[in-house]
Amino acid sequence: MERKQKKAQKEEAEKHMRLQEELKLLKTEHSLWQLYTVEKDREQMEADLVEERQSLQQVQEENQSADYELAAKKKEQSAFLKKMTLCEKSMGKKKLELDKKQPELLKLKEQISRLKSKIKSCKKEIDKKKDDNKKHLEEMKRLQSALVDVTTAIEELNEQGQDKTGKLQLADDQLHEYHRMRSSLETVGGGDE
């Protein structure tokens, strides 16, 4: 019985030793697994850190590029504002000059209006003179034609009725008409006929 008990105790002790060994192995495995997990996490963190540094560098480069662009835009804006100020000053000067010339401009407009009116009046006068000239020319042609008729009649009468002295004798009213027509013709024609 005692031997049986000792054997059971020995088996119990061996089982306990085996279980302790298993526990030790499990603890070692667990520690190794933890170490492996920590190492993997560390590697992942380092990879993430490298990626984050690259991303940070890219952002810094973009930021620097944006800073350069902003500085260029500010410079461009400054130049534009300066140009705009100069243009506004120039516009102000031109407006003052225009305001000064306004009375002169009104005076010139009035003169132009008067001249246009005068030109219109002159055109009417010219048209009237043209009409008068046309009438005078028609009258002159009529008188020339009448003069030719009278001259022809005189020549015919001259051939038919000469007196002893060889001169044509005309009645007073015929002579008067002849001189009147000749005088009218000379007046209208300017004395050329």
pLDDT tens-digit map of 122-154: 999 999 999 999 999 998 898 888 888 888 888
Q: Residue-wise over 29-60: b if at least 16 C-beta within 10 A, else e?
A: eeeeeeeeeeeeeeeeeeeeeeeeeeeeeeee
Domain ranges across the chain: 2-189
Q: How many CB atoms lie within 10 A of CB 143?
A: 20
- pLDDT surpassing 80 at residue 158: no
Model confidence at 99, pLDDT cuts 50, 70, 90, reads confident
- pLDDT surpassing 80 at residue 186: no
Q: What is the mean pLDDT of the chain?
A: 86
Q: Given CA atoms 75, 78, 83, 86 in this order, what sign does their dihedral have?
A: negative
